[in-house]
A and B are shown apart, each in its own frame.
Chain A
Amino acid sequence: MIRVVLPAHLRALAHVDGEVQLEVTGPVTQRSVLEALEARYPMLRGTIRDHTTQQRRPWLRFFACQEDLSHEPPDAPLPEAVATGTEPYLVVGAIAGG
């Protein structure tokens, strides 16, 4: 079970409270986690990754295990602690606006 923490405005959009728990088949990577997330919550398509390029939206970051994974290749394996559900995968909104 993969645990995903979304920023508040995306939790509201997806109508969820707290963490999201996902089953991911195959290798646990950023791409596979985000695809599972978007399959469960289609309203999130385009809000985390660009529809066409699949690039991370610039004002969002991906963290896990106290590391910034935003610039890691999307098909690189996520840390074991994320794959086992010990640690969550965090989608974080940039602090912006002064």
Chain B
Amino acid sequence: MLSSPKHNILAIITAPEFSLDFLWTLTFIFLTLAMLCFVGIFLIRNSIGAKAIRTKNKKMEFSPMISEFLFYEESNDIEEKKNYLHLKIEIRELIKDRFDRNVFTEVLMDLRKDLSGESKEALIHLYKDMGLHNDAFENLKSRRWQVVSKGILELSTMEVNESYSLIIKFINHRQSTIRKQAEIAVVNLKEEGITYFLDTTKYKISEWEQLKLLDVLRHKPNFEPPQFSLWLTSKNADVVLFALRLIKYFKQTDAVKSIITLLKHKRRDIRVEAIDCIKEFYFVDALPTLKLVYPKASADVKIAILDTIGEIGSKNDIGFLEIIQKREKNFNINSKVIGMLNKINPESILPTKHIETEAFFTSNLNDNALTEDEIKTVTDEFLEESKDVEADGAITVNENETTYASILGDQDEVTETDNYENIAEKQISMDIVPPVSEENTAFTNSMVEKEDEEENREPLFTLDVSLQEERIDTDSDSTSAANSSHQQEDIDWSQIINKDIPNLQLGHAIQSDEKPFISFENGAISFSANFMDEDELETMVLLENIAEMGDRRELFLLNQLLEENESPLILERANELIEKFSHQLSGPNELFSSDDGLKNSVFTKIFHLSDTATKLILLNEIEDIGDEKEIRLLESLLLDQNKWIAKRAKAIIEHIRNKINEKECSETILKVTLLPVGFELESDQNLTNALNQKRKI
């Protein structure tokens, strides 16, 4: 008889066996704990609530009693005196209970914050009269820091001077809250407290503590501050810092040398505080030290020093500030220096950034066709202003700017030369406009922008000198040469033309037959900044476009331009670009730009960006889905340094080739089987030959 096969089930994960009783026990325990927890919280909450209510009621109970006490006057009638005595006894009875005593103290402490004058004095008297300070003394002995701290605060608030000797012990307590409370109490309780504190404190004095202590001293009646300079020699740097601040606050000017010495302190905040003191007290003797420490100071200290020099310095310090202005690269510091220079010597430095050139405004004058007299007036005024400004030593004009002075100076020269001496009644029209043609404008502006986009983009200029009596024959070589040489001498073109056109040959441009540099039309000389012929200009525009948008692919074109052109300007620019693009890294696409076979494969790009592991994965993919497009890529990998990749590439090439052959065979067979009816069938031998031929191919 057949029996069913036995199945042995092997459990990989088996559930642990738990005793149900144990689970019930755990449930009971946790439920009990939860209940206890809830009950505990409920009781504690109720207790706190009840205590708060009780405290509030007690406070309201004590409040009129305390008021009665505070506003009791000796002049009151006998009845009131009796009441007062009864009340006193009643309070004494009440505060026998510790809770009531605490509440009573709490009320007094609260009121102490809100009351001043006689009421405050009466309150303190009541506190001491009831002997509540004894509780505070007891608190000082406690091991709990909160209790000690509370005791110190109470004694300090209620001004129990007797506690001073007890509290000073806590000045260097390791518990920071006690220490801080003790510091305030010591300074508050006695006048000599501050000196004791500064003498003995070993710990850091935080900014908050310093402020608090200063506040205590500030509100101390009849406080006579000690000579805080005594603590400038303290070994505790925080004491030195606090002493400096106290010196500044209480205006103690007796520590000039010590403060000057502290300019060299290692701590930055002390140096800054010392600088503040020097500025506040006008310590002129500190100027040499300020200059001495300046170079190695941090930026904020430098600014503080400059601020102080600006405040207390004189014209003797201008030299130092000017040197800093030249050397300093930090914008904030540099701005500060300029500010201070102007503070010491008002308006010694005038605005230079984003200021239009004078020429910009005179172009408008030209548009409105000013008469000769008007122009002369304007130019004369400008010349005078320029002289004044130069005389003041003010820096007003950039190197690159075209000044009226240079232009007008040249203009005068022109009238004095032989060729122009007969030119009378000339109408000067100075246009600061882009040079002549649109191409030129584009070119020039692009050059200017390259240097500094924020610089004044107002372009070069043309000078139109209208002639009334005589025209100059430009065809004459001698005249043109004379003109050109004269022009070169008289007009400082290096100022006019942007520095980005270094090798510009003006003479050459002027002698150009096609577009003369100086043209005469309708009795007017036109100085046009037409420095190159149109072909050159087009090439330059092309080069600028390449510079802006091109990459290393333009190298071929650039080399071609180098061969075709002779203009030094073009050659230089092309060389610059070749140099620039030669250093560019090749992009993944460009790596194989010369090899179209590699481009065919979609894997090429990603393959050359991958690490070895990824490359191997990609090779697997190529094996699976690749076709003849991948063969060129695989062949390039046969010489790969990594043997694995080379070996794998070789195997895949074979695999793909086989795949292609199989595919072709099947296609051929398919073609043969689908030949149309009546088609003359080739013999098997012919078919095989054709296949072999194809394979060879």
Q: Specify whether A and B are partners.
A: no
Interface residues of B (CB under 8 A from A): none
Interface residues of A (CB under 8 A from B): none
